[in-house]
Amino acid sequence: MSLFSRPKARWAVIGIGSLLLALTVAVVISPRFRNRANPKHWFRPKPPETLFDFKNAMLRAGNPGLKEIVITFDDGPHRESRDQILEALRRFHAKATFFEVGMRMEQNPDLLRKTIEEGHEIANHTMFHQTLPGLKPDTLHKGINEADIAYYRFTGKHLRLLRPPGMRFDKATLDEAKRLGYITVSYTTAAGDYGDHVDPKVVVDRTLQKTDNGGILLLHDYPATAQALPEILDTLTKQGYRFVTAEEMIQHLPPKERQEAFAFWNKSSEAAEAPRPSFLPIAVSEGKPKKS
């Protein structure tokens, strides 16, 4: 006697079959499946295997279990774009990390002050945006350290995070950064938002296509980025992302990586007085450095 000759068994098979068909349809029309099927989502990078690279004291990405990202802005403070960037961040209650060029901090102390007052994090992008690999040891040291001096004159505090210009580094660069107590901050997503004739729409698309949990977005303090930022923040907010600073991202790393990062910082802060500037040409109490 075959299965289908028994009415109960036949109905059971039809019922299970319909359920499987409904489930398949549901999966296929779900947004997640559509994202996978859409070529623009194929470029989503895999998260790096190492979140915090202890050997090089480098943050590569945040906790993939948390829906949070760091937005970083390199190369400022620029008068053409900083106010607009700060305004967009304020509107979306977002905090960001600014990798500032020391020379531009000195040129635009009002913009630096405003950025700090609005709760953002300041980090080191060298004094003159030098390409660091290949420099003589003394020039390399000054390139990193003079940006810190510029910041120290202004705030009485040291910088603890570094991004080498163009993210170009060699062993000597990382050794000097470590000696000075810096965690180097890499990125997971770059929008190529520098140079002339950058289309803000392209900045939006490139950024949104590649953003994922624990992402570090590399953007620049330039007008096209300032124009793109409201849409980026709006979309990512609707997707449920929180915007944290790089230091907060380090605090939220899984326990092993977090302990390694803070062990590095604690060790280097004990030794900090030796390599860090102990001289201060301008007293902190005098407030702002003179405008140039």
Of 188 and 268, which has the nearer Cβ to Zn ion?
188
Of 128 and 262, which has the nearer Cβ to Zn ion?
128
The stretch among 4-12, 68-76, 82-90, 154-162 that binds Zn ion (CB under 5 A) is: 68-76
Pair of tokens at residue 232:
């980026």
Active site annotation includes 93: no
**Restricting to residues 239-258, which ones interact with Zn ion according to CB under 5 A?**
none
Residue 74 in contact with Zn ion, rule: CB under 5 A: yes
Active site annotation includes 221: no
* Residues 211 and 71 sit within 8 Å (Cβ to Cβ): no
One of 78, 120, 125, 220 is an active-site residue; which one?
Answer: 220
Q: Which of 53, 68, 75, 148 binds Zn ion (CB under 5 A)?
A: 75
| Consecutive H or E run containing 97 | strand 97-100
For the CB of residue 163, give the shortest distance to Zn ion in the complex, in Å.
Answer: 7
Of 75 and 148, which has the nearer Cβ to Zn ion?
75
Residue 277: name the closest of 100, 140, 142 by CA. 142
Coil vs helix vs strand at 127? coil
What is the Cα 41 distance to its own chain's centre? 20
What is the Cα 39 distance to its own chain's centre? 25
The stretch among 37-45, 161-169, 239-247, 260-268 that binds Zn ion (CB under 5 A) is: 161-169
One of 53, 74, 75, 193 is an active-site residue; which one?
Answer: 74
Distance CA 125, CA 184 (A): 10
For the CB of residue 35, give the shortest distance to Zn ion in the complex, in Å.
Answer: 31
The secondary structure of residue 54, as a DSSP letter, is T
Q: Which of 77, 102, 165, 214 binds Zn ion (CB under 5 A)?
A: 165
For the CB of residue 125, give the shortest distance to Zn ion in the complex, in Å.
Answer: 6
Query: Looking at the DSSP assignment, which residues form a beta bridge with residue 161?
Result: 183
Query: Looking at the DSSP assignment, which residues form a beta bridge with residue 184?
Result: 58, 162
Cα distances (Å, whole numbers) of residue 115 to 31, 86, 156: 37, 7, 16
Question: Alpha-carbon Rg of the chain, whole angstroms?
Answer: 24
**Restricting to residues 98-137, which ones interact with Zn ion according to CB under 5 A?**
none
Of 109 and 165, which has the nearer Cβ to Zn ion?
165
Of 164 and 181, which has the nearer Cβ to Zn ion?
164
Query: Looking at the DSSP assignment, which residues form a beta bridge with residue 52?
Result: 59
For the CB of residue 86, give the shortest distance to Zn ion in the complex, in Å.
Answer: 19
For the CB of residue 284, give the shortest distance to Zn ion in the complex, in Å.
Answer: 27
The stretch among 152-160, 163-171, 175-183, 254-262 that binds Zn ion (CB under 5 A) is: 163-171
Helix pair 200-210, 223-238: axis angle to 10 deg: 40
The site that binds Zn ion (CB under 5 A) totals a number of residues, namely 3
Coil vs helix vs strand at 232? helix
Residue 143 in contact with Zn ion, rule: CB under 5 A: no
For the CB of residue 69, give the shortest distance to Zn ion in the complex, in Å.
Answer: 19
The stretch among 9-17, 69-77, 181-189, 245-253 that binds Zn ion (CB under 5 A) is: 69-77
Distance CA 165, CA 75 (A): 8
Helices and strands counted in the chain (H then E):
11, 10
CB-closest chain residue to Zn ion = 74
Contact residues for Zn ion, defined by CB under 5 A? 74-75, 165
Q: Active-site residue numbers?
A: 74, 220
